[in-house]
């Protein structure tokens, strides 16, 4: 594969793999802004970044179980109502490195920053599908279509040199409230090459793997996508399953991500001076579930304090889906006195009262996905 035309990248990104390019920002930079700057947003790729230079001729083929196939040009996408959706994208592999410490897992090593929050601008997929005659809130088409498959331009080795792809249920794709976008903007600027120029899918509340970048075609299909990343990857197995006894067909592709929180203001092991310390980070849940609470402990999880939460500076966050960005993370913060060396822990509770699991061992899985265990950091107090 040809990696000679990769775009320039920010020097402070921590590179986890050079080809394909996989990198994340330092955790201290991540939670300092509610909207993650594009430069610092994690980049997760499976192949070289495609080059699309003739934007006039670029189009998305929409075909499959529909009456007449359609070519969707950028001008067609821009003609539809534009929506700006603030949504957190999280890679299922976020925090994988920490999972590997208990027992080795396979996959790109990520610290805690394979996640970012952006304002995605584009057309709703529900409006696009209406253009080709599929009404809103449809669960199946007359010709038996039940899923919407997104096929990209980039090629990867997992697909034996074929394109990256994924699918979502038609019921989600045609639901305007699900806010699935064909996005051409990120934080008010045209999408850049790393993040899917000229057009990508954003599936809010769902693991990043389903938000296909560099969209080439959309297929209306009867069964979910049979691609590698739907069938042989990104599935959650119990700790008893390992590479010698895995049967991929026993599990469904992971879609929504579970409740997550991370302390970003402190490294895994951090030396501090005795006195007041501000503990801050992000908390988010999938499926549009808001964050109900973030608990912080300064004694390894014996006792807890409630942190304050915000999305907009100075406005307390309420998980009511009206005044809040329902697909977006919240930033939390609490200032405490730390007189002695200890373990600091964060755990979040979402609006369905789901709580992060206490120990990583209990959710260990061979691919190292969805490490949402209590986030623990060690502080060493010195004088
Ligand atoms: N889409 C294509 N075409 N190719 C990819 O490799 N990676 C996926 C998803 N979409 C990928 C893709 C994964 S695993 C994630 S987590 C997100 O894109 C990352 O998006 P980002 O690089 O914009 O942060
Ligand atoms: Mo991912």
The 10s digit of each residue's pLDDT in 215-227 is: 999 999 999 999 9
Dist. CA 208 → ligand 1 center (Å): 6
156 Cα nearest atom in ligand 1: 6
The CATH number of residue 232's host domain is: 3.90.420.10
Residues 96 and 174: their CA atoms lie apart, in Å, by 33
Dist. CA 260 → ligand 1 center (Å): 20
Burial of 321 (0-12, 13-18, 19+ CB in 10 A): middle
β-pair partners for 350: 291
Residues 305-323 pLDDT 10s:
999 999 988 888 988 878 8
Residues 229 and 232: their CA atoms lie apart, in Å, by 6
Q: Among residues 250, 275, 299, which one ends one of the domains?
A: 250
- pLDDT of 321 reads 76
* pLDDT beneath 70: ranges in the chain: none
Mark whether 336 and 227 lie in a shared domain: no
- pLDDT of 318 reads 87
The total domain count for the chain is 2
Q: For tokens 């973030």, what's the residue?
A: 294
In a domain, 4, yes or no: no
Dist. CA 88 → ligand 2 center (Å): 13
Residues 257 and 345: their CA atoms lie apart, in Å, by 21
- pLDDT of 248 reads 97
Task: Find out whether the beta carbon of 195 lies less than 6 Å from any atom of ligand 1.
Answer: yes
Domain that holds residue 342: 260-381
Per DSSP, the chain holds a count of helices (H) and strands (E) of 6, 22
Q: Among residues 221, 250, 279, which one ends one of the domains?
A: 250
Mark whether 369 and 224 lie in a shared domain: no
Mark whether 114 and 141 lie in a shared domain: yes
In a domain, 217, yes or no: yes
Dist. CA 274 → ligand 1 center (Å): 42
* Planar angle of CA 27, 29, 31, nearest 5 degrees: 75
**Pocket of ligand 1, candidates 22, 42, 91: which has the most ligand atoms within 8 Å of its Cβ, to mutate?**
91
Mark whether 99 and 235 lie in a shared domain: yes
The CATH number of residue 369's host domain is: 2.60.40.650
Mark whether 246 and 368 lie in a shared domain: no
Residues 116 and 8: their CA atoms lie apart, in Å, by 19
Q: How far is CA 376 from CA 82, 123, 277, 364, 379, in A?
A: 41, 40, 15, 16, 10
In a domain, 219, yes or no: yes
In a domain, 101, yes or no: yes
Mark whether 138 and 245 lie in a shared domain: yes
Whether residue 371 contacts residue 96, with contact meaning beta carbons closer than 8 Å, is answered with yes
- Pairing relationship of beta strands 308-310 and 305-306 according to DSSP bridges: unpaired
Dist. CA 209 → ligand 1 center (Å): 6
pTM: 0.98
Nearest residue by C-alpha to atom 8 in ligand 1: 209
- pLDDT of 316 reads 86
The values of phi and psi at residue 280, to 5°, are -140, 160
Beta-carbon contacts of residue 227 (< 8 Å; ≥ 6 apart): 159, 164, 165, 166
Task: Find out whether the beta carbon of 367 lies less than 6 Å from any atom of ligand 1.
Answer: no
Which of 170, 158, 198 lies closest to 49, judged by CA?
198
Mark whether 160 and 309 lie in a shared domain: no
In a domain, 209, yes or no: yes
Mark whether 308 and 226 lie in a shared domain: no
Mark whether 24 and 46 lie in a shared domain: yes
Return the sign of the alpha-carbon dihedral for residues 93, 99, 100, 105.
Answer: negative
- pLDDT of 383 reads 73
β-pair partners for 14: 24
β-pair partners for 337: 276
Task: Find out whether the beta carbon of 146 lies less than 6 Å from any atom of ligand 1.
Answer: no
Residues 271 and 94: their CA atoms lie apart, in Å, by 25
Task: Find out whether the beta carbon of 212 lies less than 6 Å from any atom of ligand 1.
Answer: yes
Dist. CA 110 → ligand 2 center (Å): 10
Ligand nearest to the CA of 115: 1
Mark whether 309 and 225 lie in a shared domain: no
Q: Among residues 250, 285, 306, which one ends one of the domains?
A: 250
In a domain, 40, yes or no: yes
- pLDDT of 319 reads 84
Mark whether 246 and 298 lie in a shared domain: no
- Name the DSSP letter for residue 174: T
In a domain, 281, yes or no: yes
Mark whether 158 and 218 lie in a shared domain: yes
């Amino acid at each position: 594969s040809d990696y000679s035309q990769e775009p320039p990248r920010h020097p402070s990104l921590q590179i986890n793999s050079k080809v394909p390019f996989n990198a994340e920002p330092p955790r201290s930079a991540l939670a300092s802004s509610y909207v993650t700057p594009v430069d610092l947003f994690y980049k997760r790729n499976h192949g070289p970044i495609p080059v699309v230079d003739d934007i006039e001729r670029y189009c998305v083929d929409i075909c499959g179980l529909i009456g007449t196939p359609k070519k969707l040009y950028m001008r067609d996408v821009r003609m539809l109502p534009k929506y700006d959706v603030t949504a957190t994208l999280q890679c299922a592999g976020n925090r994988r490195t920490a999972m590997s410490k208990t027992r080795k897992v396979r996959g790109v090593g990520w610290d805690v920053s394979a996640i970012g929050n952006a304002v995605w601008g584009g057309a709703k997929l529900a409006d696009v599908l209406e253009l080709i005659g599929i009404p809103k809130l449809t669960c199946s088409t007359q010709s038996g279509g039940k899923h919407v498959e997104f096929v990209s331009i980039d090629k990867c080795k997992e697909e034996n040199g074929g394109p990256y792809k994924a699918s979502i249920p038609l019921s989600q794709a045609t639901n305007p409230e699900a806010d699935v976008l064909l996005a051409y903007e990120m934080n008010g600027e045209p999408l850049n090459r790393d993040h899917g120029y000229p057009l990508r899918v954003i599936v809010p509340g769902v693991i990043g793997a389903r938000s296909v970048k560099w969209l080439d075609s959309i297929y209306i299909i009867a069964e979910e996508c049979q691609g590698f990343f739907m069938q042989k990857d990104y599935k959650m197995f119990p700790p008893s399953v390992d590479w010698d006894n895995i049967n991929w067909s026993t599990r469904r592709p992971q879609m929504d991500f579970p409740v997550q929180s991370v302390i970003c203001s402190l490294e895994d092991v951090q030396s501090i001076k005795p006195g007041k310390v501000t503990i801050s980070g992000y908390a988010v849940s999938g499926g549009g579930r808001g964050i109900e609470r973030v608990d912080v402990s300064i004694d390894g999880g014996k006792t807890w304090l409630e942190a304050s939460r915000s999305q907009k500076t100075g406005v307390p966050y309420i998980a009511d889906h009206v005044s809040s960005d329902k697909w977006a993370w919240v930033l939390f913060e609490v200032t405490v006195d730390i007189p002695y060396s200890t373990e600091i822990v964060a755990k979040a509770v979402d609006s369905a009262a789901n709580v992060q699991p206490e120990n990583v061992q209990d959710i260990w899985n061979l691919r190292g996905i969805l490490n949402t265990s209590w986030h623990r950091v060690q502080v060493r107090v010195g004088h």
